[in-house]
Amino acid sequence: MVMLYLRIYRGMPSNIAVDYRFFGYLTIRSVAWWVAVGVCIAIGFGVSYWWRGPLSLWVFLAVTDLVPAGALALFVVLLSKAQEAIRSNQ
């Protein structure tokens, strides 16, 4: 996130538009991004393997990850349904 901010928005006026393809260039088409994803997954697996922790902690982490993801998915579905309804009424 810091890399995206520094490379895209730092020093730009607040009313400027950025092409969506630039985000792809800085993320999924970047070797550094894939290395960082691999390192994060390896660290996550390492932490979960060597530090067992109580079961309630892992349940709490799973719920705090799943609830925002579910809310985002619900929001996206509602937006697509609203767009379909608007298109059908025109």
Residue 38 has pLDDT above 90, yes or no: yes
Total domains, the chain:
2
Q: Are residues 34 and 63 in the same domain?
A: no
Q: Which residues contact 4 (CB under 8 A, 6 or more apart)?
A: 23, 26, 27
At residue 42, the pLDDT reads 92
C-alpha 58/C-alpha 61 separation (Å) is 5
Asked whether residue 20 falls in the same domain as residue 38, the answer is yes
Q: Report how far residue 50's alpha carbon sits from residue 29's, in angstroms, rounded to the nearest whole number.
A: 32
Q: Given a cut of 70, is residue 52 above it in pLDDT?
A: yes
CA dihedral for 22, 24, 30, 35, sign (positive or negative)? positive
| pLDDT of residue 2 exceeding 80 | no
Verdict on whether the full-model pTM lies above 0.85 = no
Within this chain, do residues 44 and 73 fall inside the same structural domain, yes or no?
A: no
Domain region containing 33: 1-52
